[in-house]
Amino acid sequence: MTSPLADDVGFLLSRASGLVVRATNEALAGIGLRVRSYSVLVLACDHADGISQRDLAAALGLDPSQVVALVDDLAGRGLVRRAPSPADRRTKLVVATAPGRELRERAAGLAADAGRRRLGRLSGAERATLRDLLARVVTDPA
Amino acid sequence: MTSPLADDVGFLLSRASGLVVRATNEALAGIGLRVRSYSVLVLACDHADGISQRDLAAALGLDPSQVVALVDDLAGRGLVRRAPSPADRRTKLVVATAPGRELRERAAGLAADAGRRRLGRLSGAERATLRDLLARVVTDPA
């Protein structure tokens, strides 16, 4: 019997996300990262002057306390550091270190391979369509 | 600066899923359900003879221990019950009760409304495309 669940976009999103996250976590395990810590590292690398923990939480859809734990872990391994914001010294910005940037490059290749393998049944054009539709869902302010 | 994260299908899946799950959890909070417990209830309702906890775990991508906790909660509220399998009495099947079936109908309407609102920027045809692509990712045995 086919369940109506299988037609529910929310359910499909949740399942597909779980499968890709699991595959990516497995791919990143060898370098001590998981999808969430890798995402924090990417955002820190892509903001040359650093990014606040509040902005990290908003970008990743996480609670601030989760972001603090992820940054603590990365900082303890020397991959990022916290620096005071030039605009407001009470705000700490998360900045990637040189070893953090190196690890991010390795992680990017591993994560991309894992994602491609997991989405292997889709053609390149279909992956692009999926990406565009998801990007619109994610940027919808609703 | 645009982050490459925004082009990563895995990241987009994870974010989109989180947004839809959050919206659906909010919609279901008034009737004491969350996406996961609702999914267990739907699967129990859709298998007239019941579904094993092992099959629930596989269908939902959850650990068996998570499924046991969800079934315990639903059973404690009288929405499902555990019955021995006719094929093997050591296997317990999860069966929906009449109150469980009633609540599932109410939940389905609330969840569908929440999903449509959250995906409101997509047209009906685009939602259908997204659903089809996700369904193929989810059913890929890779």
CA–CA distance, B78 with B67 (Å, rounded to integer)? 16
Place of tokens 């890929």: B140
pLDDT at B138: 85
Are A61 and B19 within 8 A, CB to CB?
yes
pTM summary value: 0.74
CA distances (Å), A75 to each of A21, A41, A96, B135, in order? Answer: 23, 10, 9, 39
Q: Whole-number mean pLDDT of chain A?
A: 89
Q: Which residues of A touch B17 (CB under 8 A)?
A: 10, 13-14, 16-18
pLDDT at A117: 84
CA–CA distance, B139 with A32 (Å, rounded to integer)? 29
Are A8 and B117 within 8 A, CB to CB?
no
CA–CA distance, B108 with B27 (Å, rounded to integer)? 10
C-beta separation of A92 from A52 below 8 A:
yes
Place of tokens 């399998």: B85
Among the partner residues B1, B24, B126, nearest to A47 by beta-carbon distance: B1
Burial of B126 (0-12, 13-18, 19+ CB in 10 A): middle
Are B119 and A9 within 8 A, CB to CB?
yes
Place of tokens 């315990």: B72
The H-or-E segment that residue A44 falls in is: helix A35-46
Mean pLDDT of B123-139: 90
C-beta separation of B82 from B71 below 8 A:
yes
pLDDT at B2: 41
C-beta separation of A12 from A6 below 8 A:
yes
Model confidence over B113-124: pLDDT tens digits? 888 888 888 998
Instruction: Select the more confidently predicted residue: A137 or A32.
Output: A32
**Which one of B2, B7, B12 would you mutate to disrupt binding with A, by most A Cβ within 10 Å of its Cβ?**
B12
- A62: which DSSP letter? -
How far B76 CA sits from the closest chain A CA (Å)? 23
CA distances (Å), B141 to each of A19, A120, A130, B83, in order? Answer: 11, 10, 19, 31
Task: Give percent above pLDDT 90 in chain A.
Answer: 56
Predicted confidence (pLDDT) at residue B21 exceeds the cutoff of 90: no
Instruction: Select the more confidently predicted residue: B6 or B25.
Output: B25
For residue B36, what is the nearest residue in chain A, using CA coordinates?
A11
Among the partner residues A12, A120, A127, nearest to B134 by beta-carbon distance: A12
Please report the number of interchain residue pairs, chain A to chain B, with beta-carbon separation below 8 angstroms: 175
Predicted confidence (pLDDT) at residue B1 exceeds the cutoff of 50: no
Model confidence over A117-133: pLDDT tens digits? 888 889 989 999 999 99
Cα-based angle A40, A21, A55 (whole degrees, multiple of 5): 25
pLDDT at B89: 84
Q: A9-28 and A35-46 are packed helices; what angle lies between their axes, rounded to 10 degrees? A: 80
Task: Give percent above pLDDT 90 in chain B.
Answer: 55
pLDDT at A18: 84
Q: Which domains does chain A carry?
A: 8-139 (1.10.10.10)
Among the partner residues B3, B16, B114, nearest to A13 by beta-carbon distance: B16
